[in-house]
């Protein structure tokens, strides 16, 4: 054997280091169903929080967001079932939105039952000039509200400072 290099050969061969192992590919972006579930959860929670703020206009926005949260959650569940994937947050959105809507419905029913008495109470209270006059308004209208709701006498007394 000769030490002479043959055609196509070049000096001593050095081995190149092995390339680093490739990292796994990035996860695919969330599907429409996955985004819809989280969006629905956000809508339901925001709607529930806004509904219970004591500002009338904001409560209506909260009610609309509760409805939107339930509808979006149901749509996300259906879309996920159709493409055989998950819709994280959609069940929570449906549950929270439904509970919020039930509470809203109970509030509307309760408010409509005592609307006339409570309206008269607010009118009396706004025309009251002294603390004694305000107390007289409570003494006059609270028993009417209790009677209308079939509550025991004096059950609204603990809420006098709030109204």
Q: Is 75 found in the same domain as 102?
A: yes
Question: Has residue 87 been placed in a domain?
Answer: yes
Query: Is 137 within 8 Å of 122 (Cβ atoms)?
Result: no
71 pLDDT band (50/70/90 cuts)? very high
77 and 148 part of one domain: no
What's the number of domains the chain is made of?
Answer: 2
Length of the chain: 163
Domain that holds residue 63: 32-113
Compute how many other C-beta atoms are within 10 angstroms of the C-beta atom of residue 8: 5
Global pTM value: 0.68
Residue 32, pLDDT score: 72
Whether residue 7 lies inside any domain: the answer is no
- pLDDT tens sequence across 82-103: 888 888 999 999 999 999 999 9
Which token pair is 82? Answer: 């159709």
Domain membership of residue 53 (yes or no) is yes
């Amino acid at each position: 054997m000769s030490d002479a290099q043959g055609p196509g050969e070049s000096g001593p061969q050095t081995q190149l280091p092995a390339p680093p192992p490739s990292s796994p590919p990035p996860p695919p972006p969330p599907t429409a169903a996955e985004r819809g579930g989280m969006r629905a959860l956000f809508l339901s929670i925001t709607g529930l929080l806004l509904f219970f703020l004591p500002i009338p206009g904001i409560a209506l926005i909260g009610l609309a967001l509760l409805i939107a949260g339930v509808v979006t959650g149901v749509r996300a569940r259906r879309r996920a079932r159709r493409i055989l994937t998950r819709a994280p947050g959609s069940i929570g959105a449906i549950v929270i939105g439904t509970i919020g809507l039930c509470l809203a419905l109970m509030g509307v029913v309760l408010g409509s039952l005592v609307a006339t008495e409570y309206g008269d109470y607010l009118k009396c209270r706004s025309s009251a000039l002294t603390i004694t006059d305000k107390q007289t308004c409570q003494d006059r209208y609270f028993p009417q509200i209790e009677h209308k709701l079939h509550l025991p006498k004096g059950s609204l007394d603990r809420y006098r400072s709030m109204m």
